[in-house]
Chain A
Amino acid sequence: MIYEFEGKTEREAIELAASQLGLETDQFDVEILETQSGGLFKKGKVKIRVHTAGNPAAGYPAAGAGISDAEALAKAEKSRAPGRGKGTEERAVKSSLTEAEKLPMDEFETKITQWAAEVVGKMGYPAKVSVLFREEKKIGLKIETDNTSMIIGKKGKNIDALQLLANVFAGTLGRDDIKVILDSENYRIRREESLVRIAYESAEQVRRTGRSILLEPMNPFERRIVHTTLNDIVDIETKSEGEGLYKQVRVMFRGRK
C-alpha cells in the first residue's frame, strides 16, 4: 500500500505517517517526494510517500483512494476511536485521584487553606484553595482563581511571597515542622521542566563554545534543580555566584579527563 503525508520536517511527516497508520517507524519504507526548506520567516514543507507491506490494520484511506470514500473514512474513524477511549479512561483515573486528595482535612489543613483563600481573596482575586498533595512534613495547596498570572507573578515572585508567608503562618500555628507548598495551574512543575531544559541547553552551548554561561538569578530551590540536573554530566561543572538569596549559577566546561 502507498500513502502520502506532508509535514514541516521530514521527521514530522514520518511521525504523522506512523501515528495515522498505527505502525512503528521501522515498519514501512519512506520515499521523500518533495522538500521545501524553510527560510528565516517561512516554514519548510516535506512531502513523503510511505510504502507498507500489505494492508495495515488502521483503515487510513490510501493515496488516490479519494477522501470521499465513505467506507474508508468510517474505517479511519473507527481506528481512531480506541485512542479516544483510552483518553477518557486516563481522565477517569486522574479525577478519581483528585477525589482521593479530597479526604477530610485536619484542623491545621483547614486553617492554612482558609488563610490562603482569604489572603488571595483580599488581594482582589476570589479563589478556591484545596489540598493538592500530602507528604511527610510537606503539604501542597492548589490555588484556583481566574487571575492565575497575577497570583504567580513574574518568575513566580508573587506565589513565592505568598508561600513564604504561608510557611510563617504555619509556624505560628505551631507547625514549623511542615513545609507548605503553594501551586497554581501546575506552575511548580512547569517551572521545574523549563529549568531542566535551560540547564541542558546551556550545557550544550558551553560544550560547543567552550565559554561559561552565567544564568539569571534564581532562588535556592531553583538553583538546586539546575545543579542536580547537570551533576551527572561529566564534562560540565556548575557553581553558584553572588550574594544573598538570589544567586546566579555559572555553567562551565571542564573538559574530558
Chain B
Amino acid sequence: MEALKDFLVKKKQGSPLDIERGVGYLSVHVPEEIIIGAGKVPFRILGSGKPAKLANAYLPKTFDPHVLDSLEGALDGSYKSLEGVIVANVSDAHRRLYDAWRLGTDSAKVFFLDVPKGADSLRVKSFRLALSSLMRDMERAFGVQISKEALRDAIRLCNETRSLLRKLSDMRKDKTPPFTGERFFEMVKWSQTHDKRTVNDMLKEYLEELDGLEGSGTDGPRIMLMGSLMGSPELIYLIEKLGARVVCEDLCVGMQYFSSLVDEDSNEPLDALANRYLAIPTARMVDTESRWNYLLRMAEDFRVDGVVYFTLKFDDIYLFEYPHIRNKFQKAGHPVLFIEAENFWTSLGQIETRVQAFIEMLA
C-alpha cells in the first residue's frame, strides 16, 4: 500500500516516468500479456497532460485531444525511457498517431496492431492474425521469443490484477463505499502503469486493509461516469467535491480494463487473448446493442442515480454514440448529463455549475 500512496503523491508532483523495460500502449484493446510475454512492462500512455504544440506540426487541431497530447509527450521526450510503443487501430486518430510517432521521433520501435470492431468468429480470427504479426514484430525488435508458456504466465498474472480490481470495484455497490471514485481511478491507472507483480501485491495488501472496515464518506447521489478516455481524475474529483459519488464507470481507466477474464485453460493462448480483448464492450465496437445491455446492467448493479456522459471534443466515437445512448438511458429512467470538453485537465472550471445543478437535481 505504501508504494501506491507513494505513487499517488509523486504523481501529483508530476514526477518523471520512472519505469524500466517499459513498453507503452494506448488502447485498452492491446493485450498487456504480449508485452509481459516479451519480458517487458506494459505502460499505459494516458497523455502527457500538455497542450499540443509540437503535435500540431503533424496532426490537425480538430483531433482527438488524447491522441494529440500523447503525441506531444512522444515529441518532447516525455516517453523516451520507454523501449517501444504499440499503437492500435482503434480509431481514425490512432491510425495517424502511428504515422506521426514514427516520423516525428527517433524511437525505432513503434508497433502497430489492427483491432477489429466486431467480436464474431471471423473478426476474432483476424485479430489473432494481427496479434501474431505484432508478436513477430516485437520478437524481431527486441530479439526475444514470446513462448506460449510465457503468455500463459502473463495471462494468469493479468487475470489476477483484473480479479483484484473487480473485488475492489464491487465494494462500490455498498451504500457507502470505503474509498472514493477518485481513489479507485488512481488505482486502476496505477495498475496499468506498473509491473503487475507489484500491482497485485499492493492490491492484495489494500484489500486486506479494507477488510472489515466500515464504509465512509458521503451517501450523496450515485453517479455512473462514462465516455472518452480520461488520463486524470479531475472530473471525478469535481463530481465528488460537489457531494456526489462516482460508483462505477464505463471508462478504459476503469471497469473496461477488468471487464472480463482471459481463458487460462485454452491450448492456444493467442486465441484466448483475441477473444477476450475483442469482448471489451467499448464504444468503438459496432455492436451497440450488447454495449447498451452492458451499460444498463452496470447502472442497475451499482444502483446509480444518474449518468455523466463525458466526451472529448472531436472524439467521434462518442459524439456519434451519445444521442443514442442518452435516449436509452432516459427511457430506462436514468437522468443523463452531457459534458463535452477540450481536454480533461484545463476546461473543467466552466462545467462546474452544470455538474452542480445535475447533482442537486438528483439529490
A binds B: no
